[in-house]
Chain A
């Protein structure tokens, strides 16, 4: 109980510190001004989303070959948490883009892949609600999760090659393509903070899923009695 509280406060502290750094430590960007600072939240969420979905992918593979309930619990937790980060990523993007470039949305590789990824994992969670038997649900969603994740680089590649119309703004190229050193440090710190937040949400969600398994067992015992 105390560990959770301390952990929660630590994460909040990190996230708060990252936000502070985004506003007061990072220098102001030349062309976009203040609004560029959304980048630290937006891009960090994007990368964290990927980590979460990668954890989901690994759990899916583990489930298919090991059939452990813990792997299934981790998979659905990682998918949900990943979806949350994905949503924040997709929402903060347009809020940044509109004042910065005058458009709400552009169908470039990164954004479109993010959107398709969002749709795929919504489908993943929807699939889970439509299969009742727990082991079948775990297996089917694991298999779909694997196919979905394998698709991601293909989606990105296809759109990058044929649909990216706008030249990538220097900053959007990610670290190492024009970010000033202080900005880079703030960016990495934001990534760290977001991952800490992801870990916190993941642990909580995983706990919930394990509890569900427990409830199912008790329910089954009751029915058997």
Chain B
């Protein structure tokens, strides 16, 4: 199969990039959610 490795590489890398981006967004969202929790807790404590 001529050029199978090129096709394979293209699709793998392409999907890989999407997946990595999705993960970074998910990670940032989770971190931010924790941040907000922390901030809200300290806000409640100071009240």
Contacts and interface: CB of A to CB of B under 8 A. Distances in A.
- The reply to whether A and B meet directly (CB within 8 Å) is yes
Interface of A: 15, 19, 33-35, 37-38, 41-42, 45, 81, 84, 87-88, 91-92, 95-96, 98-99, 197, 201, 204-205, 207-208, 211-212, 214-215, 218-219, 221-222, 225
Give the bracket for the number of chain B residues in contact with chain A. Answer: 20 to 34
Interface of B: 1-4, 6-7, 9-11, 13-15, 17-18, 21-22, 25-26, 28-29, 32-33, 35-36, 39-40, 42-43, 46
16 contacts: A88-B13, A88-B17, A91-B17, A92-B13, A92-B14, A95-B13, A96-B10, A98-B6, A204-B25, A204-B29, A208-B25, A208-B32, A211-B33, A212-B32, A215-B36, A222-B43
B16 to A, nearest CB: 9
Q: Which 6 A/B pairs are nearest by Cβ-Cβ distance?
A: A35-B3, A95-B10, A38-B10, A99-B3, A218-B39, A92-B10
Interface centre among B7, B32, B40, B46 (most CB of A within 10 A): B7
A33 B29 contact: no
Interface of B is mostly: helix
Nearest to B43: A222
B46 A222 contact: yes
B29 A88 contact: no
Interface of A is mostly: helix
B10 A41 contact: yes
Given A215-B39, A218-B43, A204 B26 contact: yes
A96 B6 CA distance: 7
A108 B4 CA distance: 26
Contact of B6 (A45, A99, A205, A215): A99
A84 B17 contact: yes
Given A45-B14, A201-B22, A35 B2 contact: yes
A35 B7 contact: yes
